[in-house]
């Protein structure tokens, strides 16, 4: 499915040939995110990612960068998460050299112009305010704080207004020099390309990127339960809730079992939560669950938006579905969940951006790339008994966390509901 070469400076190149496509996607994955930040520099990874789009020596303005790619019909974007940062570009195959030039220019030669830093600081603070003004987004940030208390994993990736206001240009450049290293990065390319040709181009563009023997690591997570409930009272129409439990890490051998369990619970319109909470009881328009996996931790979270007077009823109904997972997983339901999981994976792999993300993300985080066929084999082998056993291990009442944003008067009675 892919070919890999490590350059002399430690940079890893992974390519996936997709001969039937007209596009090519390049992703540059850097193994740094918000969990690598101290509290005083919270949001610095995200800030740096924004500034890399704001001008380089060759293309001094943000408009020149975007026009270079949009002028050939391409897409340019980036993203910062808790454990990685990615810059990606998707273009027609003939424009691969341009896309590589723009991305490497941004990565190595961004200007970090002081006036641009101040403008982008204001932009990011507006982004933080926007997230806080969206109850469905904010409740997900509150639940992270309950899942990973007193740890960078529990913070908003964008940081806070206070931390972003205090980050200086010099501090950003120091962070960049210590974390943006070839030995900590992966270039992933997917599309109608040949590995040797891409290797020659990447070697020329990034072969002189210098590395350092060591870089600052991240704070390991030690399980801690500081608080189970967080309620933020707001005068809005709905009560938004996140009900969560600790899950499994990215490297755990049973992480795919968690993912399958999550599909049965709240993945899609045929899931138990959707069928019960929305279709049968009519309690919510939006109800879903998701599983997250980090290098040394994970979570399973249920989100719903409900009528405030129905909040307790909805929480009880969700907990009933969690409890039932420990007791019964019919073979027909297991088979459907497997087919949904495999089908969604195969559909994603038709797009060059998703394929670049598949190989690049795995390589930078785990240094091991599972093929689609390997993952499908793992999914196929999971049994109903394994699902129930894992549900019994994870779905423990004492580990439940609940975050609510909405017109909630009293929170005392909510904590009494957190039982399984």
Question: In this structure, are 170 and 241 located in the same domain?
Answer: no
Instruction: Tell me the three state secondary structure of residue 244.
Output: strand
Neighbours of 227 (CB within 10 A): 11
The answer to whether 257 and 387 have CB atoms below 8 angstroms apart is yes
CATH of the domain at 134: 3.30.830.10
**Is 219 a domain residue?**
no
* Cα distance between residue 168 and residue 163, in whole Å: 10
Is 283 among the domain residues?
yes
Positive/negative CA dihedral, 197, 198, 200, 205: positive
pLDDT digits (tens, 9 = 90+) for 296-343: 999 999 999 999 999 999 999 999 999 999 999 999 999 999 999 999
Q: Which of 206, 237, 271 lies at the terminal end of a domain, its last residue?
A: 206
- Give the pLDDT score at 120: 96
Handedness of CA 249, 250, 252, 257 (dihedral sign): positive
Together in a domain, 200 and 343:
no
Exposure string over 36-64, b if 16+ CB within 10 A, otherwise e: bbeeebbbbbbbbbbbbbbbbeebeebee
155-166: average pLDDT? 96
Q: Is residue 350 part of a domain?
A: yes
User: How many Cβ atoms sit within 10 Å of the Cβ of residue 270?
Assistant: 14
The β-bridge relationship of strands 401-406 and 239-246 is: antiparallel
Q: Within 10 A of 354 (CB to CB), how many other CB atoms are there?
A: 14
DSSP 18-57: -TT-SEEEEEEEES--GGGS-GGGTTHHHHHHHHTTS-BS
Confidence (pLDDT) at 27: 98
Instruction: Give the count of domains, the chain.
Output: 2
Nearest-angstrom CA–CA distance, 271 and 289: 9
Same domain assignment for residues 391 and 290: yes
| Same domain assignment for residues 239 and 147 | no
138 & 89 share domain: yes
Q: Are residues 11 and 106 in the same domain?
A: yes
Helix (H, G, I), strand (E, B) or coil at 142: helix
Q: Has residue 411 got a pLDDT over 90? A: no
First to last CA, the chain: 43
Domain assignment present for 224: no
Cα separation, 152 vs 218, in Å, equals 9
Last residue of a domain, one of 175, 206, 237: 206
Q: Is residue 213 part of a domain?
A: no
Among residues 324, 344, 305, the alpha carbon closest in space to that of 261 is found at: 324
Mean pLDDT in the chain? 95
- One domain for residues 150 and 233: no
Kindly state the average pLDDT of the residues 389-399. Answer: 95
The parent domain of residue 323 ranges over: 229-415
CA distances to 26, 191, 356, 371, 393 from 2, rounded to whole Å, are: 14, 11, 10, 9, 36
Cα separation of 326 and 318, whole Å?
14
Which of these three, 191, 206, 221, is where a domain ends?
A: 206
Residue 225's pLDDT is 75
| Statement to judge: residues 35 and 77 lie in one domain | yes
Whether residue 212 has pLDDT greater than 90: no
Whether 76 and 163 map to the same domain: the answer is: yes
- What would the pLDDT profile of 82-124 be if each residue is shown by its tens digit? 999 999 999 999 999 999 999 999 999 999 999 999 999 999 9
Mean pLDDT of the region 380-385: 96
Instruction: Please report whether residue 42 resides in a domain.
Output: yes
Domain annotation covers residue 95: yes
Catalytic residues: 49
Q: Does 148 fall in a domain? A: yes
Give pLDDT tens digits for 225-270.
779 999 999 999 999 999 999 999 999 999 999 999 999 999 989 9
Same domain, 27 and 140: yes
Indicate the pTM of the whole model: 0.94
Residues 200 and 278 grouped into a single domain = no
Residues 348 and 245 in one domain: yes
């Amino acid at each position: 499915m892919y070919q890999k070469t490590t350059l002399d400076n430690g940079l890893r190149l992974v390519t996936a040939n997709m001969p039937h496509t007209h596009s090519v996607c390049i992703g540059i994955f850097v193994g740094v995110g918000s969990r690598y930040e101290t509290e005083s520099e919270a949001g610095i990874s995200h800030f740096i990612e924004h500034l890399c789009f704001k001008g380089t020596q060759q293309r001094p303005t943000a408009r020149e960068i975007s026009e270079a790619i949009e002028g050939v019909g391409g897409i340019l974007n980036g993203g910062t998460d808790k454990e990685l940062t990615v810059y990606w570009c998707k273009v027609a195959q003939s424009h691969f050299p341009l896309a590589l030039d723009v991305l490497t220019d941004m990565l190595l030669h961004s200007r970090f112009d002081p006036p641009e830093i101040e403008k982008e600081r204001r932009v990011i603070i507006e982004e933080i305010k926007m997230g806080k003004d969206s109850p469905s987004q904010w409740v997900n940030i509150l639940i992270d704080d309950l899942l990973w208390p007193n740890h960078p994993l529990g913070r908003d990736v964008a940081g806070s207004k206070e931390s972003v206001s205090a980050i200086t240009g010099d501090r950003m450049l120091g962070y960049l020099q210590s974390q943006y290293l070839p030995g900590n990065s992966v270039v992933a390319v997917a599309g109608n390309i040949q590995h040797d040709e891409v290797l020659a181009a990447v070697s020329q563009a990034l072969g002189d990127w210098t590395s350092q023997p060591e870089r600052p690591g991240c704070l390991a997570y030690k399980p801690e339960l500081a608080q189970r409930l967080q309620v933020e009272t707001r005068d809005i129409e709905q009560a938004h809730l996140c009900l969560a439990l600790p899950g499994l890490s990215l490297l755990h051998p049973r992480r795919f079992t968690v993912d399958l369990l999550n599909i049965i619970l709240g993945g899609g319109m045929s899931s138990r939560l959707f069928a019960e909470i929305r279709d049968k009881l009519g309690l919510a328009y939006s109800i879903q669950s998701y599983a997250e996996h980090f290098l040394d931790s994970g979570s399973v979270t249920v989100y719903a938006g409900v009528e405030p007077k129905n909040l307790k009823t909805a929480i009880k109904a969700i907990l009933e579905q969690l409890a039932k997972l420990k007791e019964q997983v019919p073979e027909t339901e297991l088979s459907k969940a497997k087919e949904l999981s495999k089908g969604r994976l195969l559909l994603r792999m038709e797009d060059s951006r998703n394929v670049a993300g598949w190989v690049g993300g795995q390589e930078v985080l785990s240094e091991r790339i599972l093929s689609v066929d390997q993952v499908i084999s793992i999914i196929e082998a999971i049994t109903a008994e394994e699902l129930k056993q894992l549900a019994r291990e994870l779905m423990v009442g004492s580990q439940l966390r609940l975050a609510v944003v909405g017109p909630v008067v009293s929170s005392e009675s909510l904590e009494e509901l957190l039982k399984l």
